[in-house]
């Protein structure tokens, strides 16, 4: 049985970005409570681990000193910094809120705690659900993300001389992580996401494949809106496992955003819990040291259910489908897994499948061939 760690403390879930903001950190608490109700932390092979705050030196592996200082000042309510210069605005994706600096330090530090446990072989896999904030840039906030903890965690592994495969299954392209390592052949970045033709951040096309020494090490699988489980899994299996095996990393980092879920309010993909769990199982089958991070997800009940299922895969454990009565009031359905039948029009399905087949074929010709695949 694999040994897993789950990094969490209620302090990670208490902040509020804005009363009407779609990113609701309470989803982290719901996930922890659902896992607790299933007894996920009762065995000796599942460790519940406290986070710590990242240090400024650790943030500087990715972010500029000016940006870090600006976040600290804005968080304290100081008027010496123009928020817009650093990607913040009152009604935009990244509002300034009290205590945001400390909250961002803690979520970044949680991912570093998980990274340390994996690198030191104390566990086979560590899940930092507050992490996965993949849009943040070195000098500005973006897409609900202040500090880019995936890039910080990858930098930690690089400091230890480890080659890293990063796979991002959030509905939004992992642009911030891709940009940081775009010229680095020690890091393979793979992002499976709704196409930038239709969704923020407007990037993540097959043609974005790296530069210089990193040419061929940035890999993107853009998806047509309303893509369902079957074509998603087909494309994933065609590209991700063979490419990771060819790259032969020392560690795998996954961003497990679940805004690809069919009822997510701000995206258009149509994954069910069944499809999502199959993706997580594909990661487990690779049998690599594994850092798992959270990410997007704005149907908060679905987030809690799917991340609970994901942690079950990490433990090689099947949770009962009936949600325990102690927490069932938080969910519209009594079941952990989906039973919904999606109603995507056949012409949209056909268009999406063709879009995906064309993209995978282009990817094999232009990118995978560099790795002896195609």
Q: How many residues does the chain have?
A: 374
Q: How far is CA 306 from the centre of its chain?
A: 13
Q: Encoding tokens for residue 131?
A: 């992490």
Residue among 15, 63, 134, 135 flagged as catalytic? 135
Strand partners, 252: 165, 290
Cα dihedral sign for 16, 17, 18, 24?
negative
The DSSP string of 184-253 is -TTEEEEEEEE-TTTSTT----TT----GGGTT-EEEEEE-TT-BHHHHHHHHHHHHHHHHHHH--SEEE
Please tell me the distance from the alpha carbon of residue 266 to that of residue 293, in angstroms, as a whole number: 20
Please confirm, yes or no, whether 135 is among the known catalytic residues.
Answer: yes
Contact 180, 138 (CB under 8 A): yes
Q: What number of other Cβ atoms are within 10 A of residue 114's Cβ?
A: 30
Contact 15, 146 (CB under 8 A): no
Contact 106, 129 (CB under 8 A): no
Q: Return the active site residues.
A: 135
């Amino acid at each position: 049985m694999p040994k897993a760690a789950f990094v969490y403390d209620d302090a990670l879930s208490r902040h509020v970005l804005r009363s009407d903001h779609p990113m609701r950190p309470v989803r982290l608490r719901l996930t922890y409570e659902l896992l607790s109700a299933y007894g996920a932390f009762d065995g000796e092979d599942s460790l519940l681990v406290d986070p710590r705050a990242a240090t400024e030196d650790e943030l500087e592996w990715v972010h500029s000193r000016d940006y870090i200082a600006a976040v600290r000042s804005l968080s304290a309510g100081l008027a010496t910094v123009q928020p817009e210069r650093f990607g913040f605005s009152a009604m935009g994706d990244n509002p300034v809120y009290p205590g945001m600096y400390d909250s961002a330090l803690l979520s970044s530090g949680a991912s570093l705690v998980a990274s340390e446990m994996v690198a030191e072989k104390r566990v086979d896999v560590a899940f930092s659900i507050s992490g996965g904030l993949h849009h943040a840039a070195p000098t500005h906030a973006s897409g609900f993300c202040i500090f880019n903890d995936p890039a910080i965690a990858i930098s930690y592994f690089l400091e230890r001389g480890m080659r890293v495969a990063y796979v991002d299954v959030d509905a939004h392209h992992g642009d911030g992580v891709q940009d940081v390592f775009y010229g680095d052949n020690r890091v393979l970045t793979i992002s499976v996401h709704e196409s930038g033709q239709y969704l923020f951040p407007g990037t993540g096309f097959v043609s974005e494949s790296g530069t210089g020494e990193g040419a061929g090490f940035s890999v993107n699988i853009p998806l047509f809106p309303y893509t369902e489980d079957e074509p998603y899994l087909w494309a994933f299996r065609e590209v991700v496992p063979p490419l990771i095996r060819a790259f032969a990393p020392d560690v795998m980092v996954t961003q497990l955003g679940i805004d690809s879920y069919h009822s997510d309010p701000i995206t258009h993909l149509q994954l069910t819990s069944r499809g999502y769990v199959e993706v997580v199982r594909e990661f487990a089958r690779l049998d690599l040291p594994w850092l798992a991070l959270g990410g997007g997800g704005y149907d908060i009940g679905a987030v809690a259910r799917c991340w609970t299922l994901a942690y079950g895969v990490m433990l090689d454990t099947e949770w009962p489908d009936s949600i325990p009565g102690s927490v069932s009031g938080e969910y519209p359905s009594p079941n952990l897994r989906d039973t919904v039948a999606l109603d995507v029009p056949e012409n949209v399905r056909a268009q999406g499948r063709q879009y995906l087949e064309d993209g995978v074929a282009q990817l094999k010709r232009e990118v995978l061939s560099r790795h002896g695949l195609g």
